[in-house]
């Protein structure tokens, strides 16, 4: 399948590393102009330089999209995008009865409200132009709530609802809104998380196997997913070929969720 996103502008939040950076790279490979976003100028500049070294058409902006002021700064610089990828998210292991109100609030504001705010900001322009894509990076934890981070799972469940609701808002306009349910993925942040749950003295390969065996035994591929595998589905959903896919929660979870439907 040849996917050509030439002439489209894509914004990927939280795209200076991990899944977000892989998505930015894959979208650029498909011809899109990509906007890299992060909260520190150093990381944004480094990611932009890395992507431009491959010949990609890339811009960058340092903006905290979890705040109204940060989104206002973003919109002043980039008032319209064709493809919005809400990748930014936080997670962390906290015993269920020790999750504070502030931790619940922070998880919701970063993982849910920031995405809703950006969809609300860019969706009218997409609808007016008769084409657009809004894609949220959710998690298997939205369906299989992890006991070690209930607040994270709840936030990702809410994100699925945000996507479904805005897909209805965009019905019949040529704009699609979808979620990607990502399974346990190999990123720097996840390496830190794994070592919160297994013996820190173990080499990474052994630590990963122990984590999957002990904490994610449902995985059918029995390994962590690579960020590029998530990015490939995002690129497809961003494409004209995915015009009939909307309101969906599509899984790249290694078969982790033991269900025919999400």
The residues annotated as belonging to the active site are 152
Count how many Cα atoms sit within 13 Å of the Cα of residue 135 in the half-sphere of its side chain: 34
Contact 249, 179 (CB under 8 A): yes
| Rounded alpha-carbon distances, angstroms, from residue 112 to 90, 120, 144, 218, 238 | 11, 12, 18, 26, 21
Closest CA to 25 of 8, 3, 50, 5: 50
Residue 11: in which H helix or E strand, if any?
strand 9-12
| Nearest CA-CA partner of 52 in 80, 24, 74, 79 | 24
- CA distance linking residue 23 with residue 34, whole number of Å: 10
As separate numbers, helices (DSSP H) first and strands (DSSP E) second, the chain gives: 9, 7
Q: What sign has the CA pseudo-torsion 174, 129, 127, 60? A: positive
Residue 130 structure tokens: 């008769």
């Amino acid at each position: 399948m040849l996917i050509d996103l030439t002439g489209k502008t894509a914004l990927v939040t939280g795209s200076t590393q991990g899944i977000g950076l892989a998505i930015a790279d894959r979208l650029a490979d498909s011809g899109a102009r990509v906007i890299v976003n992060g909260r520190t100028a150093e990381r944004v500049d480094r990611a932009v330089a890395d992507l431009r070294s491959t010949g990609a058409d890339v811009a960058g902006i340092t903006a905290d999209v979890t705040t109204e002021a940060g989104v206002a700064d973003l919109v002043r610089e980039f008032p319209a995008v064709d493809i919005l990828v809400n990748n930014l998210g936080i997670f962390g292991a906290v015993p269920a009865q020790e999750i504070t109100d502030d931790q619940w609030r922070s998880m919701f504001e970063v993982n849910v409200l920031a995405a809703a705010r950006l969809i609300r900001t860019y969706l009218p322009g997409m609808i007016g132009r008769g084409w657009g894509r809004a894609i949220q990076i959710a998690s298997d934890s939205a369906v299989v709530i992890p006991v070690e981070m209930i607040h994270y799972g709840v936030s990702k469940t809410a994100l699925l609802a945000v996507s479904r609701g805005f897909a209805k808002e965009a019905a019949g306009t040529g704009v699609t809104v979808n979620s990607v349910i990502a399974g346990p993925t190999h990123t720097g942040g996840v390496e830190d998380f794994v070592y919160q749950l297994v013996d820190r003295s173990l080499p990474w390969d052994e630590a990963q196997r122990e984590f999957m065996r002990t904490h994610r035994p449902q995985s059918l591929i029995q390994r962590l997913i690579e960020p590029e595998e998530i990015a490939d589905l995002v690129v497809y959903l961003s494409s004209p070929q995915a015009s009939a896919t909307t309101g969906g929660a599509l899984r790249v979870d290694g078969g982790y969720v033991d269900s025919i439907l999400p």
